Amino acid sequence: MTQNITDSSTIVIIGSGLAGYTLIREIRKLDKVAPITLITREPGYFYSKPMLSTALASKKEASQLISTPAEGMAVQLEINILSQTNVSAIDAAGKTLQTSKGPVSYGKLVLALGADQMRIPLEGNAVSEVFTVNDLEDYEKFRKAIKDKKKVAILGAGLIGCEFANDLVLAGYEVDVIDLAPQALGRLLPEAAAKALQTKLSEVGVRWHFSTTVQSVNRNGDALQISLANGDSITCDVTLSAVGLKPRLDLAKAAGVKTGLGIQVNRELETSSSNIYSLGDCAEVDGLVLPYVMPIMQAARALAPTLLGQVTALSYPAMPVMVKTPALPTVVSPPAQDAHGQWKTTAIEGGIEARFEAPDGSLLGFALLGSATTQRATLTKELPPILQ
Ligand SMILES: Cc1cc2nc3c(=O)[nH]c(=O)nc-3n(C[C@H](O)[C@H](O)[C@H](O)COP(=O)(O)OP(=O)(O)OC[C@H]3O[C@@H](n4cnc5c(N)ncnc54)[C@H](O)[C@@H]3O)c2cc1C
């Protein structure tokens, strides 16, 4: 058991992902000495998670993706890190955490817990062999599994599924992608834009299986046999599931902190429990869970002064997301879910510009592919903020 090294003035942050570390960097810009303890199940290194879906083609091992080990982060940011430490409970009244290394008290607590990859229910004797890649350890296991293999099947044609498909074909693999939706990036792209992306990825070797789902995964000697609901079957060596993310809520729920899609926070990023805050992939702000880098940057910039006593409200400008598919680079800024309007898609030389326009012609969202991605900055300026 470690002794309780924190006290009632300590800011304790759970999670060493982009949210936890970006927040600490923002705090240190304002205050060099405020006591901060970071608790994480991971080794505590800093790495860029978006690189996980672009690193196979460049043959990177997990260790090569680490930009700074935990010891370096502790020195650089002057923080105390409890690594490989699981937090199992929060006592909000007593302002104490139960951890695998003993109790830790806090003055202010930040939940930067991230999200888990979702799993669809599957049948078959090889369900446990279906990989997901959501952190460095997963990446290394997946990399080892595909070594000297040829065929990979990906469940899910969303952002992460498409990025892995492109990266794997670049790394020399045959790739099948399966999705229940009739197109790739179903939530982000209008049909014509999705078709263009699918065509480019098909040209480099991706095979698509749309409007169907995986029913079973069975091992048959050295190969995996995937049965689809439409009656087709796919033979592959390794299967990767990328069907979406599920914010980590259990810790908050058990402590009586209000949750919905994510851990619910107000514009000051405070949860329903005083002195407990949340940001990143696990947090829900005004009904929105935005599991991307830019929202984390915005949230960290607002939360740092709030934790230091200068309460600051979060706002979200328009925040386009880059889909890292070199076969056809794509930038999306999807309209709000309840937005009224329609997509207007124009093919240009080497690309596609799709605008989602309100009835009065104002721009509410866009998708830019290929040569049209140069319009990103101009169109972003036209978009309304996501949270004012
Ligand atoms: C393959 C991939 C590619 C991506 N590409 C892009 C991109 O191009 N652009 C973009 O904007 N976004 C991208 N994203 C999303 C982006 O990477 C995430 O939004 C971001 O990294 C999430 O950071 P986080 O800190 O909220 O969560 P995480 O990085 O998941 O960190 C959560 C932390 O909490 C810790 N933790 C959780 N529970 C406990 C507990 N009980 N006790 C102790 N520790 C705990 C975990 O160990 C971890 O350290 C991508 C995501 C993936 C998976």
Q: Residue of the nearest CA to atom 37 in ligand 1?
A: 113
CA 234–ligand 1 middle distance (angstroms) = 31
Delimit the CATH 3.30.390.120 region(s) of the chain: 329-382
Q: Is 60 exceeded by the pLDDT of residue 3?
A: no
250 Cβ contact partners less than 8 Å away, ≥ 6 residues apart: none
Per residue in 177-195, pLDDT (tens digit) is 999 999 999 989 999 999 9
Q: Is 80 exceeded by the pLDDT of residue 6?
A: no
Per residue in 76-92, pLDDT (tens digit) is 999 999 999 999 999 99
DSSP classification of residue 384? P
Q: What is the pTM for the complete model shown?
A: 0.97
Delimit the CATH 3.50.50.60 region(s) of the chain: 11-116+245-307, 119-241
**What pLDDT, on the 0 to 100 scale, is given for residue 5?**
67
Q: Residue of the nearest CA to atom 29 in ligand 1?
A: 17
DSSP classification of residue 213? -
Atom of ligand 1 nearest to the CA of 40: 44
Read off the pLDDT band of 1 (50, 70, 90). Answer: very low
Q: Is 350 exposed, middle or buried (0-12, 13-18, 19+ CB in 10 A)?
A: exposed
- Where do we find the tokens 């095979």? 207
- Which CATH code for domain 329-382? 3.30.390.120
DSSP letter for each residue of 168-198:
HHHTT-EEEEE-SSSSTTTTTS-HHHHHHHH
Atom of ligand 1 nearest to the CA of 42: 47
DSSP letter for each residue of 321-333:
EEE--TTS-EEEE
Read off the pLDDT band of 9 (50, 70, 90). Answer: confident
Give strand pairing partners of 233. Answer: 227
d(Cα 109, Cα 278) in Å, to the nearest integer?
Answer: 8
Ligand 1 site, CB within 6 A: 14-20, 39-42, 49-50, 52-53, 86-87, 112-114, 133-134, 160, 248, 251, 280-281, 291-294, 296, 321-322, 324
**What pLDDT, on the 0 to 100 scale, is given for residue 7?**
76
- Where do we find the tokens 């888990």? 116
CA 157–ligand 1 middle distance (angstroms) = 20
Per residue in 313-354, pLDDT (tens digit) is 999 999 999 999 999 999 999 999 899 999 999 999 999 999
The CATH number of 11-116+245-307, from 3.30.200.20, 3.50.50.60, 1.10.8.60, 3.40.50.2300, is: 3.50.50.60
CA 363–ligand 1 middle distance (angstroms) = 30
Q: What is residue 18's three-state secondary structure?
A: helix
Per residue in 154-183, pLDDT (tens digit) is 999 999 999 999 999 999 999 999 999 999
Atom of ligand 1 nearest to the CA of 117: 53
Q: Is 60 exceeded by the pLDDT of residue 2?
A: no
Per residue in 94-137, pLDDT (tens digit) is 999 999 999 999 999 999 999 999 999 999 999 999 999 999 99
CA 35–ligand 1 middle distance (angstroms) = 24
Q: What is residue 290's three-state secondary structure?
A: coil
CA 177–ligand 1 middle distance (angstroms) = 23
Name the maximum alpha-carbon separation found in the chain: 64
Q: Residue of the nearest CA to atom 2 in ligand 1?
A: 50
The CATH number of 119-241, from 3.40.640.10, 3.40.1080.10, 3.50.50.60, 3.60.130.10, is: 3.50.50.60
What is the percentage of the chain residues whose pLDDT exceeds 90?
Answer: 97
CA 104–ligand 1 middle distance (angstroms) = 23
